[in-house]
Each structure stands twice: as C-alpha cells, then as structure tokens.
Amino acid sequence: MTKPPLKSNYKLVINNKDHIELQLSGDWVIGKLLPDLKNVVESLPDLHNSQPFSITGDMLGKWDSRLVSFILLLTEYLAKKNIKLNISTLPTGVQSLIQLATAVPLRKDAIKKHDSPSIVEQIGSKALDTFSEVEKFVNFMGETWLSFIRFFHGKARFRKQDFWLIVQQCGPEALPIITLISLLMGLILAFMGAIQLRLFGADIYVANLVAIGMSREMGAMMTAIIMAGRTGAAFAAKLGTMQVNEEIDAFKTMGIAAMDFLVLPRIFALILMMPILTLYSNVIGILGGLFVATGMMDISFVEYYLQTKQSITLVDWSTGIFKSTVYGLLIAVIGCMSGIQCGRNASAVGDATTQAVVRSIVIIIVTDAIFTLLFESMGI
C-alpha cells in the first residue's frame, strides 16, 4: 500500500470530452485546510443537463465528516443543474453516510422563518404581553380568593405537615439573615442621622429616627425584600419543578386542586410569618441604632431607651406590621403564580424563579409608595 499524500487536494479530469471526474487526494479531515467548494465550482467547465460527473477517491487518505459534508454540498449544487453525482468508487463508509444523510428529505415546513418584526410590531406585542400578564395575575388572584373561600367553608384541604414545614422554612430559618440585615440597617440609619443631627445639637433624636424609620418603613420593607429573594424564589422553583415533572398534573387528575393543596399553605405560612419577622426586624434595627448611639455619641442606654419608648406609638408599629402582612400575601401569590405558570423545560424553572423575585420586589416597592401616600392623606 502506498502512503497517500498528506495534503488534501483534488484534480479535475475531463474524460472523453464529456465525463467530468473529480479526483480527491490526501486527508480530508477536521483540522486540515480543505479546498473550498466555491473554488471547485468556479473551476468547473460549463455544465449541461445530465452530464456524467463522478467523484473518485483512489488517492484518498483519511476522511471524516468534513469529506461527507463537502460531497453533500457538491451534490446539492449539481442537483440544481440536473446532474447526478456518481460516488460509487468512494469508500463504502462515505457512501453509506451519504445515503443516511439523504435518506430523510429536508422538511421544508420545518425550517423556521427569520423575520425581524418592525419596531411598531415589537412595541405592540410587548404591550399585549403586558396585558396578558396582568390578566393572568388577576385570574390567579381570583383563583386564590376562591380557594380562600373554599378553605373557610372547610372544603379546601392541605396537609398540616406541609404547612408547618413551610412555616419553618420561611420563618425560623430566615432569622439569621434577617438579624444581620436589620442590625446593619439600624446602624446605617443611626450613622446617617447622627452626622446631620449633631449639626444642631439634637443628638438624642437619633433614637426617634431609628425607631420610626425601622418600625414604619425599613423593617417591613427589608424583611419583604429578603423574603422575596429567599422564599418567593423558593416557592417558584419548587412549584416550577413540580410543573416540569408533571406532579401538578398528577394532583389535578386525582381531583385535588393545586391551588388548595400547594398554594394556600404557602400563602398562609408567609402571611403568618411576615409580621413576626418584621416585628423581630424592628427590634433588631433599634438595637443597631443603640450600638451607634452608645458607642459613638454621648447617649446612655437609658436615655436612648426612654427616647425610643417616647417616640413610637402603637400606630407606627401597626402600620409596619400591616404592610408586612400585605407584602407576605403578595410575595407568596407571585412566587406561587410564577411557579404554577412555569413552562415545561428545565430552563423555564430558572426563568420562573427570576420572574418571581423581580416581580415581587417591584410590586413591594410600588405598594409601599402607595401605602405611604395613603397613610399620609389619612393622617396616620
């Protein structure tokens, strides 16, 4: 056996005036510089209908899919000119691969069209998407409401152990991170206030600032944002995965309403735990303020305590707690909704989780703004 030349090449031979023969030589493999089909085509003489055309590989060395791909493209080009390519002298492996590749014809209807919509169309479809999102949300809220009604009539059931497990997940297990964030929040508030208040000797009012700031706004808000990232995302991921695994369908076909069995316990758990966590967050935040006041300023523990006690009223505490309950409901509903409406593939779970967190945080802040205006106008 002679060693084949290593350089991959081809030679055009025209026999008996008419028969074109393309002689391949060398290695036609990935990693070699191969002749371009365009050059081959350009070097062809004028072709006429059903001209005999063959491709031979007596001098061919190694080959892989590159060769098959080349021959297929050439076949396609020649087919347009009504010429059939003769490959009967190529290695049998090449022949069977080509046969395999052409066995199932191209499904023209399968090819996707790439048309980029105009800007008007894009804006329009975005707007429609937004409307349908809102509609879905309203629908889901409605279903939740019906589920509530069923529950208070004693018709909706879920497992108690599920409920307590969720309570544990979104309550006690969130304490460490809530502690850290609230403490830092209190410290930051006190620091910022301290510098400004010192300018006109009103140092002691740092206690008012921290106490009112935490109890009315920051406690509920920070807890809500943490819970949106922690628990809302967990709800969406859990229900999304269940949707992918057809577990939710399994509930439905057994006549168990997914709303009652999966969504209700999550909503109840979060509505129950959010006020408690917020209360805890308020206390820890005020503690953070105390550290700054006693450590950095000339305020004693007792002074700070008395000032704090004097500055906040039950109304301040209640607004924070009330807000947190609403946030809890929103986070749970949005998390569960994103999960239940999740698509059927693995990447959809990721999308659902992201969506849950982003939507919850946006809605929390918007709701907070609305509440602030509302309380202001009501004089609370």
Partner 1 sequence: MSKQPHIIVNNLTMAYGDFIIQQNLNFTVNEDDIFILMGGSGCGKSTLLRHLVGLKQPAKGTVFYRDTNFWQTNIQQRREIMRQNGILYQSGALWSSMTLAENISLPLAEYTDLTPAEIKELASLKLALVGLSGFEDYYPSEISGGMQKRAGLARAIALDPKILFFDEPSAGLDPISAKLLDDLILELRDSLGATIIMVTHELASIFAIGSNAVFLDTDSKTMIASGAPKTLLKECTDSTVQQFLTRGNTR
Q: Which residues bind partner 1 (CB under 8 A)?
A: 30-31, 64-66, 68-69, 72-73, 92-94, 96-97, 100-108, 110-112, 114, 343-348
**Cβ nearer to partner 1, comparing 114 with 153:** 114
Rounded Cα gap, residues 324 and 329, in angstroms: 9
What is the smallest separation between the CB atom of 75 and partner 1, expressed in angstroms?
11
CA-CA-CA-CA dihedral for 255, 259, 262, 267, to nearest 10: -160
What is the smallest separation between the CB atom of 106 and partner 1, expressed in angstroms?
5
Radius of gyration of the chain (CA): 36
What is the smallest separation between the CB atom of 86 and partner 1, expressed in angstroms?
19
Of 329, 331, 328, 326, which Cα lies nearest the Cα of 356?
A: 331
**Cβ nearer to partner 1, comparing 62 with 136:** 62
Q: Taking a C-beta distance cutoff of 8 angstroms, is the pair 41, 72 a contact?
A: no
Question: Which ranges of the chain would DSSP assign to H, the alpha helix?
Answer: 37-43, 65-80, 92-103, 119-152, 160-170, 175-199, 206-212, 219-227, 233-244, 247-253, 258, 264-296, 301-311, 314-340, 346-378
What is the smallest separation between the CB atom of 119 and partner 1, expressed in angstroms?
23
What is the smallest separation between the CB atom of 105 and partner 1, expressed in angstroms?
8
Q: What is each CA distance from 216 to 31, 43, 51, 120, 229, in whole angstroms?
A: 68, 82, 88, 44, 21
Q: Taking a C-beta distance cutoff of 8 angstroms, is the pair 177, 226 a contact?
A: yes
What is the smallest separation between the CB atom of 278 and partner 1, expressed in angstroms?
38
What is the smallest separation between the CB atom of 362 and partner 1, expressed in angstroms?
25
**Cβ nearer to partner 1, comparing 44 with 348:** 348
Rounded Cα gap, residues 243 and 259, in angstroms: 13
**Cβ nearer to partner 1, comparing 68 with 321:** 68
**Cβ nearer to partner 1, comparing 198 with 344:** 344
Rounded Cα gap, residues 40 and 61, in angstroms: 19
Residue 19, beta-bridge partner list:
15
Give every strand in the sheet of 53-63, ordered side by side. 9-15, 19-28, 53-63, 85-86
**Cβ nearer to partner 1, comparing 229 with 350:** 350
What is the smallest separation between the CB atom of 117 and partner 1, expressed in angstroms?
17
Of 194, 236, 195, which Cα lies nearest the Cα of 360?
A: 236
**Cβ nearer to partner 1, comparing 24 with 190:** 24
Residue 11 DSSP class: E
SS3 90: coil
**Cβ nearer to partner 1, comparing 106 with 119:** 106
What is the smallest separation between the CB atom of 104 and partner 1, expressed in angstroms?
4
**Cβ nearer to partner 1, comparing 295 with 343:** 343
Say how many C-beta atoms besides its own lie within 10 A of residue 200's C-beta. 8
